[in-house]
Amino acid sequence: MSYQYLKTELRDNGVAILTLSAPKSLNALNSGMIAELDDYLTQIDTEQVRVLVITGDGDRSFVAGADISEMANKNEAEGLVFGQKGAEAFRKLEDLPIPTIAAINGFALGGGCEIAMACDIRYASKNAKFGQPEVGLGIIPGFSGTYRLPKLVGQGMAKELIYSGKTIRSDEALRIGLVNAVYEQEQLMPAVLTLAEQIRRNAPIAVRYAKECINRNYDMDRADGLAIENELFARCFATEDQKNGMAAFLNKKEATFKGK
């Protein structure tokens, strides 16, 4: 499908690259981009795609935030719909059964920080900047930022960032656990694709089960979380991948996984 605000690429190894593209506005999230993102995440073939990488168009911005020119004149009812649509698209991203990696190549502010947080793993360039500056505009984070940021960096740090609306650099984002790694701009995508290939080589069903365990355990108590892990651990033994993987290990060979 052709999109106005998204560029899509599927590589031969099953790694898909989704580029958020509205360069004139530093890839700001408008209703059109959100709708296209929602459609892409609904349509994506997660049997064919093994890892999804999300990045921004250009070398200045991942996503600079939501489109303020669109939001400025919304009333309460319209604001509710706008927030719900963004949050729903980001929930679909978080709930994808396949691993997702954000390649954050510049500004990740407001909705940009929120879409990055909906990904499983975040790699950033040294020029990346992060923040939830919404209170300086008279609003609060509306695409699940108040939910995900405390989970990643703790309540105290999340409150500091959200209440102050300040912007932090990539080294500080790494220090507080908002991103996994930081690279020079030209090294960012190669590092992300190296990680994606490393993930892709592993048993896809096992990777999916691991993601399901982690995501479902997010808000559960220990007993329920461990029960889910035990259930999905057992299911792995019903797969061809488990038989092939362990046989290859015992025979000192490299395993080939079929996702069965």
60 and 149 together in one domain? yes
pLDDT band at 236 (very low <50, low <70, confident <90, very high): confident
CA gap 105, 109 in Å, rounded: 12
Assess if residue 260 is contained within a domain.
no
Q: With bands split at pLDDT 50, 70 and 90, how would you rate the model's confidence at 256?
A: confident
CA distances from 114 to 62, 156, 216, 224, 233 (A): 11, 18, 19, 28, 31
Tally: H helices and E strands in the chain: 11, 10
Is 103 part of a structural domain of the chain? yes
Mean pLDDT on 62-74: 91
Residue 53 lies in a domain: yes
pLDDT at 153 (0 to 100):
97
Answer yes or no: do 162 and 240 share one domain: no
pLDDT higher for 236 or 198?
198
Residue 143: name the closest of 94, 107, 76 by CA.
94
Are 132 and 189 within one domain? yes
CATH number at residue 49: 3.90.226.10
- The Cα-based distances of 183 to 9, 37, 128, 177, 255 in angstroms read 23, 26, 10, 15, 31
| 231 and 176 together in one domain | no
Q: Is residue 255 part of a domain?
A: no
Domain final residue pick, 176, 200, 224: 200
| Predicted pLDDT at 245 | 86
- The answer on 216 and 88 residing in a single domain is no
257 in any annotated domain: no
Residue ranges of alpha helices (H) inside 154-221 are 155-164, 170-175, 185-200, 204-216
Identify which has the larger pLDDT, 114 or 1: 114
Based on the fold, state whether residues 85 and 193 are members of the same structural domain. yes
Parallel, antiparallel, or unpaired: how do β-strands 15-20 and 51-56 relate? parallel
Residue 241 Cα distances to 97, 135, 162, 203, 258, angstroms? 17, 49, 44, 6, 7
pLDDT at 76: 93
Whether residue 131 is found in the same domain as residue 57: yes
- What pLDDT is stored for residue 217 in this prediction? 87
**225 in the same domain as 113:** no
195 and 216 housed in the same domain: no
| Distance, CA of 29 to chain centre | 15
**What is the residue range of 240's domain?**
204-250
Average pLDDT estimate for 226-233: 85
| Same domain for 110 and 90 | yes
Q: Is the pLDDT of residue 219 over 90?
A: no
Percentage of the chain beyond pLDDT 90 is: 79
Average pLDDT over residues 39-60: 96
For residue 225, is pLDDT > 90?
A: no
What local confidence, expressed as pLDDT, does residue 47 receive? Answer: 93
- Count how many domains the chain has: 2
Q: Residue 88 pLDDT more than 90?
A: yes
pLDDT score at 223: 87
Quickly state the pLDDT bin for 91 (edges 50, 70, 90). very high
- Does residue 1 have a pLDDT over 80? no
Cα–Cα distances (Å) from 143 to 56, 152, 165, 167, 226, in that order, read 18, 15, 15, 18, 30
Catalytic residues: 114, 134
155 plus 220 within the same structural domain: no
**The predicted structure's pLDDT at residue 249:** 85
Mean pLDDT for 221-227 is: 84
Per-position b or e across 20-55, b if 16+ CB within 10 A of its CB = bbbeebbbbbbeebbebbbebbeebeeeebbbbbbb
68 vs 148 pLDDT, higher one: 148
Residue 171 has pLDDT above 80, yes or no: yes
Nearest CA-CA partner of 99 in 62, 36, 46, 147: 46
pLDDT (mean) for 140-151: 94
The verdict on residue 146 lying in a domain is yes
What confidence tier does 215 reach under pLDDT thresholds 50, 70, 90? very high
CATH number, position 240: 1.10.12.10
- Mean residue pLDDT of the chain comes to 94
Average pLDDT, stretch 180-197?
98
146 and 224 share one domain = no
Specify the pTM: 0.93
